[in-house]
């Protein structure tokens, strides 16, 4: 009777587990924020920074703990299955009951891990979307702002001036002002050094653009790629959830079969018909 | 920890000091250009004096115009002075824009403000 109650509650628990993936994850959260400091990082470092932040979070630590528990549970299941090959009768029934219970516990752990992974991925996606939005805002603000327009005008004016530099210098010589000014001398001297420094900066690895398969991309493109990877991961997690629900369904069916077996015996048990006196058998006595 | 401190120190070095007047070079340019036009139009100077004065200012203007065009601080804020200066390249960078047209700066300036011999001769003195 007691075993039957436990089995029924087990079936109910597993059935609920199939449909409900809501977690009780108090104190196991990961709350990343797309701060301005994060946006300023190079795109490839943003990804690493987010991953690093996640790995240090209580949520990630809890997932690691759950993974360990799942491994332990899995070895218990394997040894129990090995034990069952040599058992029979009442002992086998008990071991089958134990197996269903262990499987159910394993699924509980798997459900919690799956939920945490989904949760972390959703947060990561949200974070990447915020980063992308901020990057777009920043670029839009820069390209539309008055300061940007002004800088463009200055650059155009500089190009325009460049074309007549020699002409103006010749004009100075023509006017008898052939001695170069201290500014012009110093500027020419510094110019080559400035170019060298600028080249060194542009070639510096810390200033390098992020790459995707050896192709240099903008930060925006890189974050878009990260979002695509996150949605790939999301669809794989969805598939894993489906697998999990099928596994839970199988355990529930196992438990139900075991319950029926305990109550009504196994398939081979024949229904015994009570002997009844047929009128034909006793008819002769009345002749 | 030490690396963070070093980066923070360097970052503070990279940012321009806030007390510097970002329009300093442009204001100098405006003053020099005004001085050039004043010298050109100063009737109290004789030809020799004017030429000497104009040449000195011209020399300085060449440098200052180049300084303004190379000075990123000028365009670090959208001040009306900077907006106006770059919207009117012909008038602001008088020496370099006059060289484009192979004209003396004064002639170039006068054509830009639409002052022709005819318009000057047909002008009448009076109250507006």
Cβ within 8 Å, pair A150-B87: no
Distance CA B77, CA B58 (A): 28
Q: Which of A120-134, A144-158, B5-19, B52-66 has the weakest average pLDDT?
A: B5-19
Closest CB to A158: pick one of B60, B69, B77.
B69
Average pLDDT over residues A95-106: 90
Residue A77 has pLDDT above 70, yes or no: yes
Cβ within 8 Å, pair B100-A164: yes
Report ipTM for this prediction: 0.79
> What pLDDT does residue B35 have?
93
Cβ within 8 Å, pair B58-A153: no
Chain B residues with CB-CB distance to A181 below 8 A: 59-60, 62-63
Cβ within 8 Å, pair A172-B93: no
* Confidence class for position B108, pLDDT limits 50, 70, 90: very high
Cβ within 8 Å, pair A151-B93: no
Residue B18 has pLDDT above 50, yes or no: no
Residue A17 has pLDDT above 70, yes or no: no
Sign of torsion over alpha carbons A116, A119, A121, A123: negative
Distance CA A252, CA A249 (A): 5
- By percentage, how much of chain A surpasses pLDDT 70? 85
> What pLDDT does residue B88 have?
94
Summary mean pLDDT of chain A: 82
* Confidence class for position A58, pLDDT limits 50, 70, 90: very high
Distance CA A70, CA A114 (A): 12
Q: Which of A75-84, A202-211, A265-274 has the weakest average pLDDT?
A: A265-274
Q: Phi then psi for B24, rounded to 5 degrees?
A: -55, -50
Look at B85 and B20; give whichever has higher pLDDT: B85
- A135 CA: distance to closest CA in chain B (Å): 21
Chain A residues with CB-CB distance to B97 below 8 A: 160
pLDDT tens sequence across A121-133 = 999 999 888 888 8
Residue A32 has pLDDT above 80, yes or no: yes
> What pLDDT does residue A45 have?
84
Closest CB to A154: pick one of B74, B77, B97.
B74
Distance of CA A63 to the CA centre of its chain: 12
Determine the residue of chain B that is closest to A169 in CA distance: B62
**A–B: how many Cβ contacts below 8 A?**
67
Average pLDDT over residues B20-34: 87
- For A112, half-sphere exposure in the C-beta direction (CA atoms, 13 angstrom radius) is 20
Average pLDDT over residues A73-82: 90
Cβ within 8 Å, pair B99-A164: yes
Cβ within 8 Å, pair A147-B78: yes
pLDDT tens sequence across B33-90 = 999 999 998 999 999 999 999 998 999 999 999 999 988 888 888 889 999 999 999 9
Distance CA B18, CA B76 (A): 11
Q: Are A136 and A128 in contact (CB under 8 A)?
A: no
């Amino acid at each position: 009777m007691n075993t039957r109650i436990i089995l029924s509650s087990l079936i109910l628990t597993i059935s609920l587990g199939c449909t409900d993936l809501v977690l009780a994850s108090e104190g196991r959260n990961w709350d990343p924020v797309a701060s301005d400091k994060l946006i300023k990082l190079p795109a490839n470092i943003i990804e690493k920074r987010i991953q690093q932040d996640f790995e240090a979070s209580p949520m990630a630590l809890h997932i690691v703990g759950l993974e360990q528990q799942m491994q332990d549970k899995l070895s218990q299941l394997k040894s129990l299955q090995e034990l069952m090959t040599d058992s029979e009768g009442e002992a086998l029934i008990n071991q089958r009951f134990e197996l269903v219970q262990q499987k159910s516990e394993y699924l509980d752990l798997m459900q919690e891990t799956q939920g945490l992974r989904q949760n972390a991925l959703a947060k990561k996606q949200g974070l990447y979307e915020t980063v992308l939005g901020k990057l777009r805002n920043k670029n839009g603000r820069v390209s539309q702002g008055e300061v940007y327009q002004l800088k463009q005008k200055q650059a155009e004016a500089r190009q325009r001036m460049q074309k007549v530099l020699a002409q103006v210098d010749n004009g100075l010589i023509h006017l008898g002002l052939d001695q170069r000014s201290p500014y012009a001398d110093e500027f020419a001297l510094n110019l080559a050094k400035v170019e060298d420094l600028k080249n060194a900066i542009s070639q510096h690895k810390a200033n390098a653009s992020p790459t995707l398969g050896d192709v240099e991309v903008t930060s925006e493109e890189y974050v878009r790629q990260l979002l695509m990877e996150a949605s790939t991961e999301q669809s794989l997690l969805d598939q894993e959830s489906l697998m999990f629900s099928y596994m839970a369904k199988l355990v529930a069916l196992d438990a139900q079969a075991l319950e029926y077996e305990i109550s009504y015996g196994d398939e081979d048990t024949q229904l015994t018909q009570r002997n009844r006196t047929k009128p034909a058998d006793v008819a002769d006595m009345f002749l | 920890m030490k690396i963070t401190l070093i980066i923070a120190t360097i970052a503070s070095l990279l940012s321009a000091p806030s007390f510097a007047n970002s329009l300093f070079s442009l204001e100098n340019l405006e003053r020099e250009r005004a001085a050039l036009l004043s010298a050109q139009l100063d009737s109290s100077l004789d030809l020799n004096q004017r030429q000497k004065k104009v040449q000195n200012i011209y020399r300085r203007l060449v440098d200052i115009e180049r300084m303004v065009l190379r000075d990123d601080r000028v365009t670090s804020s959208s001040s009306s002075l900077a907006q106006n200066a770059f919207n009117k390249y012909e008038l602001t960078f008088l020496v370099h824009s006059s060289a484009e047209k192979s004209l003396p700066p004064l002639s170039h300036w006068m054509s830009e403000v639409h002052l022709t011999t005819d318009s000057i001769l047909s002008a009448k003195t009076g109250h507006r």
